[in-house]
Each structure stands twice: as C-alpha cells, then as structure tokens.
Structure 1
Amino acid sequence: MGQFSMFRKYRDYVPLWNEQVSTAKSKRRWTPGGIAIGLSIILNVIFIWRWWVGVTPTALDNYQHLNEYSLLAPDVAILPASSENAIVTSLYTDAFATAVATLGHTISKVNSSASKIMIYLPEKTSPRAVCIASASGFTPHPVARIAPPHPGVHRHFLDQYSKLQLWDLERLGIKSLVYLDADTLVYRNFDELFSLPYRFAAVPDVFLDDRGFSSGFNAGMLFLRPSREVLKDMVSKIGTADYPAEDAEQSFLNHYFGKEALRLPFTYNGNMAIKKRTKAMWADLKESIHVVHYTLVKPFLQGDYAEVPIDKLEKNIKSKMGKHGGIFVDELNEWAQAWRETEEKYGDTFAECGALASS
C-alpha cells in the first residue's frame, strides 16, 4: 500500500469508541500544551530525518582522486621579477610576530619574484614585535587602523577592517599583490597569480558545519589590484552596507566583491578545515599545495590568542599536537620545522629585537 493510500485509509476511518469520549479527547488534544507537544514531536522527527539522511554531499564532500593533471597548463609563462608585485601580510598584535617571521622565511624559500611588505598598526604593536616580524625580509609599512563600523564583531577580528588598507598600497607603486594572513605558510611559488587580469580573487571558504564548501571566500588569502579609489569607496560603505558583523572585513568583502570575485583553487589557501572535512581531498592537495592556512590550530599562540615567548615556542607547538584528535600532527610538525629554520637563520636579529623591549 502506497504512502498516500495509507493516509487516505486513516482519514476515512470511523472510530468505534463512544462519540462523547472521542469529542472530549479531541478537545484535550488541541490545548496549547498539546499543540506544543505536537510541534516538538514534528521538529524532532525532522531533526532525526536530517541526521539520518543527511545533506546531499557536494562533489568535494564526496571527494575522489580522479584528476591526474597539473593545475597550470604546461605552456603558461611566469612573468619575470617586478617591483610592481608584492606579497603582503599584516601585524595587528605582538602575538603574531613570530608567525610573520616564519611566513617570510617560507616565502624566501620558494624564490618568489615579488617584494614583501608587512602592514602594521603602530599603536597596537611594539617596536620589538615589528622588528621580529620583519626580520625575514618583510618591509614594514605602518597603516591607520580602520575601526569596526558595527557592534558584534568577533573579539579576534576587531582590527581586521584595517586589511582594507591593502588597496592603499597603490601609493607605493604596487600594481598587483597577494595578501596572506600571518597564520599561513608558503609551500610552493605562486608568482603566476600576479598575471591574473582580474581586480580581485580569493579561495572559497570551508566550514565544519552544514555550510561545508561555500561559494563565499576566505579573506586569509587574497589577490587584488590596489586602488585608492576603491579603498575610498569601500570605507564609505562599510558602515551602511547590510552584512553580518561578526566576521568583520571578510563578510564585507564577500558582499562588496561577491558577484565578481574570481574563485581560485583551494591549493592557494589550504584551509585546515578541508582536512577535518575530507582527508582524501587534503591528501591530494598536499601533493601540490601552495599555501597552508592554520585556521583550526595556531602553533604560535597560547590561551586566547596570547603571545608565546620565543624560547617557549617549541613546547607550545607540542602542546597542540592532540588538538582535533591529533589529525594536524603533520602540519604542526611542518610549522615547527619552518620555525626552527627561521630561528636558526634570524636568531641573532631576534636577540637584537629583544633589546628594543628594554630600551
């Protein structure tokens, strides 16, 4: 018997019990309490059904190793070095100084043709931290803080609107740049990005909840062409545009560039959430990944985004090994190795930077 036939059968059913009793029960059934219980049962059924059946997986959730081809076409020409190209990062608090230094070291290892610039907030960072962060080759460039225009911004993102100052780097003669958050490491050269004919590009975001692989992008890695005109326009609209405040500049940029942003492959922003969501895809990505983004575990921080002293970094990294069931042990070891190389190469400079704290 089909589902609808069953419903029809019950609809036509004539009860055998006393009509008066039936009417009384019917009246009790429609009390406010009964309605609440009924709604609760319905919602629970829906929840259980969704849990059992699940959301239809995307092709990436159902990842399979099918494509054997390299990302770039074999005849793509990489442009020679140019002072008009830059890799840019940011320093908003002292806690990220060692991360920036380590990132700079990994950029140098892949022989990028681009210059390295670090934007920083003078009122939020110490001379010592700026010294440490720029030791591996970043040219420090102070910028004015852009305050959040709305309440409700996540406490870790209160300075993130200052990232919009990237567009002001046009004044330095920069024609195209790749921005990387401090919690990234570079594994392979990505100079091909500087040849993109677009104004803005980013990598789609990844979440651990039902959102999964998103059409929205993550602002931890961006390609853009600086323009002071665009900066002026964005700043004029961050306070009036309608967007969720919690994610600060990332939310705004998704609304500002959403319809036209070029979506780049995940290899340019290897968000750790990918590994947590589908290990098979991460394993394939790691074979040719350009940038790993330490979103879920930050080996250089302790507590609630607190700074780790240089002589305690190794111990701090080890304390992170069990996070998320230990699935990021390889990536944490890779960051640790990059840090050891950085400290070995720039340790004397770090010591000199430390002297600034007491001067």
Structure 2
Amino acid sequence: MAPLSAFRRYKDYIPLWNGHDLSTSAGKANGRRWSVGGLLVAFSVVLNLVLIWLSWRTTPTALDNYQHLNEFPLLSQDATISHASSENAIVTSLYTDAFATSVATLGHSLNKVNSSATRLLIYLPEKVSPAALCIATASGFTPHPISRIPPPHAGVHRHFLDQYSKLQLWTLGKLGVKNLVYIDADTLVRRNFDELFALPYSFAAVPDVFLDGRGFAVAFNAGVLFLRPSLDVFRDMVSKIATARYPAEDAEQSFLNHYFGKEALRLPYAYNANLAIKKRSSEMWKDLMGDARIVHYTLVKPFLQGDYAEVPIEKMEKNIQSKMGKHGGIFTDELNEWAQMWKETKELYGEAFTSCRAT
C-alpha cells in the first residue's frame, strides 16, 4: 500500500480513515464506533481465516507427514538393466572457475559407482580458465565447449545468469549421444543410476522441494535431468524462451517446467536427494538415504565461500568445517560425506591439480 504522503499530491484527496469514525459527529467525539453488524462481519471474517489456517495446519501432505510404510525396493526385482553404452552420457556443467573442484569431486564419485556411460563436461570457454578446466576434468570428464545462451528477460537471479546455456544439452546428439543424464556440479553420486538410460521417455526430472509454504511441489528441479538430445527440440525451445510466460528469476528451470510441464516424467527423490528434503522432513530423509543415487547440495555448498566465491584447494578442508553449523548443523553428515569424497579426490588427483595450476 502507498504511504499517505503519496496521495496528498492530489488536491481533492480526503483521508477516509484517520483512526476515527467520520460518519457522525458523535463518532468524531467518541473515537472509533462499531455497529453490531460490523462486529459480526469482522468476527465472521476472522473466524473463517482461523478455520482455514487450522485446516491447512492439520492436513499436511503425505510427504510432510512422512511415515515409513513401504518396505519394498525402489526398482522392480524383475527389471533388466542393460550396461550403459557409448550412446549414453552423464553430463555436468562448468560456467565459473569456482565449481571446478566440485566437478572433479563429482567425477570421482561417479568412478566409484562404476557407471560405464560417457562423461561430458559442457563449459563456457569465455568464462572458465584453462587451469579450472584442467582441474574439473582430472577425474574423467571430457570437456565440450558450448555457446552461452543469454537470459531473454531481466530479473534472473544473479546466480543463474548463465543457466539458459543448459539448453545446449539438446545439441549433444551431434556427438553421438542418444540418451543423457545431466547432473549439476553441486552433487555427489552415491549409487549407480544406469537404469535411467533405459527410460522410454523423452524427458524426466525429480519434483522440487521448498522450505516455504510450497513444500513438496509438482514442479521439478533442473539439477538432475534425463533427456534425449534433439536439435529440433533445441531450436524450438530457443525460439520460445523470450515469448513464453514464466517467472524469470529461476531462469531455465522455470522455462523447462513450462515447456515440459505435462510431458515430464517425475522421477523418485532418490535421483535428486535435494538437501531441502532433510530440512523439510528428517524422517523422509533417513529412509531416502538407503536408495539415494544422487545427493544435491542445494542449501549448503562445501566448495564455495561467501557469495559463490572460489575456495583455494589448500583451504578446502577449513572451508568445509566453516559450513558445519549452517542450518542449525543438520547437514553435518552430508558435509562429512562430501569432505571424505574430496579427500579421496585430492589424494588421487592432487598431482594433476598441481600441474593444472602451474599452467
């Protein structure tokens, strides 16, 4: 609501409410006066608001009211999972030097689960230094430069200004890729997920989770995606990102939710175990960890400092420790898991990192 002073520029403006009842002279003398009818209407409005609030508070979703009921495995015992081939790729991205160490750590976590899919790193050559690219690819990713797709609208969150470039995933068919799983650089892989390459769909993602009133949502998170590359789809998306109606702040994630809204296959949370789930429902998180393939470090990033600033390799352990108290310390286990994976990565590829930094 505009302040009172904003209206006084108009000569005919008369304040309709100044703390007193203006309808009668008695009102002016005696302050506020409420009729019986007015009191009943006000009481009715307040009562209805209270009832709505109580109804919302007492009927949580099945996920907010999580209970360990299902004892059966995530995958069917009859499912046949073929070995990944050269036509299948696991892809991540690098748009800034600050994420180079996380890409290397992600690559090591992939090596440990024995996925046989091709590894690709899409990156923006004008924004990534040769040293950072060298570090990021030390654990097995093959670099592939892409052209940046700039935001078509103002209002994009400052951390997502390069994220429309993710649409370039649909161009990777020119490399012989027929199926790909994209995973953000702020993830760790805990179990093999080659079964995703057998999906008979064109696009799949995991529903998102929010800490506000939206909670567990139907909209999906773009941190983990399954898709089939297609130049036709790519060209169609690029032609529509500026004219489609969607909130600009979340960049490509918002657009993809609108573009694939009714076609997207929703995957189980095991494929994108967003840290927001743990803060939302610790019981669900406890059960989820038994099946989780990919953990997504959304709420706390052990490899960054400040506002997405790069952490020098020699200060990584100290930086991880500085994150332990974030969000009341509830992510200590997950931070320790990342720290252990980083320790192994540094031990295995430390010499390569040193050589990269010397270039």
Q: State the TM-score bracket (shorter-chain normalisation).
A: 0.7 to 0.9
Q: Equivalent pairs: percent with the same residue?
A: 70
State whether residues 27 and 33 of structure 2, in contact with CA within 8 Å, keep that contact through their aligned partners in structure 1.
no
Of 60, 63, 69, which aligns to 1:60?
63
TM-score w.r.t. the length of structure 2 is: 0.87
Q: 1:261 to 1:291 in 2, by over 3 A?
A: same
Q: Does 1:317 align with 2:320?
A: yes
In the alignment, what sits opposite 1:355?
358
Cα 1:26–1:260 shift into 2, 3 Å:
farther
Off by >3 Å, runs of 4+ in structure 1: 20-31, 41-49
> Is 2:340 the counterpart of 1:334?
no
The residue type equivalent to 1:316 in the other structure is N
What is the match of residue 235 of structure 1?
A: 238
| 2:182 equivalent to 1:156 | no
Could you report, residue by residue, the CA deviation over 1:315-342 in whole angstroms, capped at 9, with x for unpaired residues?
A: 0000000000000000000000000000
| 1:69–1:128 distance in 2 versus 1, CA, 3 Å | same
> What's the C-alpha RMSD, in Å, of the aligned pairs?
2.6
Q: CA deviation at 1:80?
A: 2.1
Structure 2 portions without partners, runs of 5+ = 1-22
Residues 204 and 53 of structure 1: CA distance in aligned 2, closer, same or farther (over 3 Å) = closer
Partner of 2:16: none
Shift of 1:45: 8.6
Residue of structure 1 aligned with 2:205, choices 183, 202, 207:
202
DSSP-derived class of the 2:53 partner = helix
Return the offset for 1:54.
2.1
| 2:138/2:349 contact within 8 Å kept | yes
Aligned residue for 1:8? none
Q: CA deviation at 1:46?
A: 3.6
Pair 1:275 & 2:286 matched: no
Counterpart for residue 132 of structure 1: 135
Alignment partners' CA distance in 2, 1:195 and 1:210? 35
Q: 1:265 is matched with which residue: 265, 268, 271?
A: 268
Alignment of 1:1-359 (within 5 A): 24=27, 46=49, 50=53, 54=57, 56-356=59-359
User: Letter of the aligned partner of 1:281 in structure 2?
Assistant: M
Describe the SS at the equivalent of 2:217. strand
> Equivalents in 2 of 1:196, 1:53: separation in Å?
37
Is residue 180–residue 197 contact of structure 2 (8 Å, CA) maintained in 1? yes
How far is 1:353 from its partner? 0.4
Q: Could you say what secondary structure the match of 1:163 adopts?
A: helix
2:85–2:117 contact (8 Å) kept in structure 1: yes
For the residue of structure 1 that corresponds to 2:233, the secondary structure is: helix
For this pair of structures, how many residues does the alignment match?
A: 331
- Mapped to 2, the partners of 1:342 and 1:333 lie a distance apart of 14
- Paired with 1:156 and 1:44, the residues of 2 have a C-alpha distance of 43
Q: 1:123 and 1:249 mapped to 2: Cα distance? A: 20
Distance of 1:23 and 1:79 partners within structure 2: 86
Q: 1:28 to 1:278 in 2, by over 3 A?
A: same
Partners of 2:124 and 2:72 in 1: CA distance: 43
Render the CA deviation track for 1:264-285: whole Å, top value 9, x for unaligned: 0000000000000000000000
CA spacing shift, 1:252–1:27, aligned 2, 3 Å: farther
Q: Which runs of 5+ in 1 are unaligned?
A: 1-19
Task: Check the 8 A contact 2:302/2:320 in 1, yes or no.
Answer: yes
Distance 2:272 2:305 in 1: 23
Q: Distance in 1 between matches of 2:82 and 2:29?
A: 79
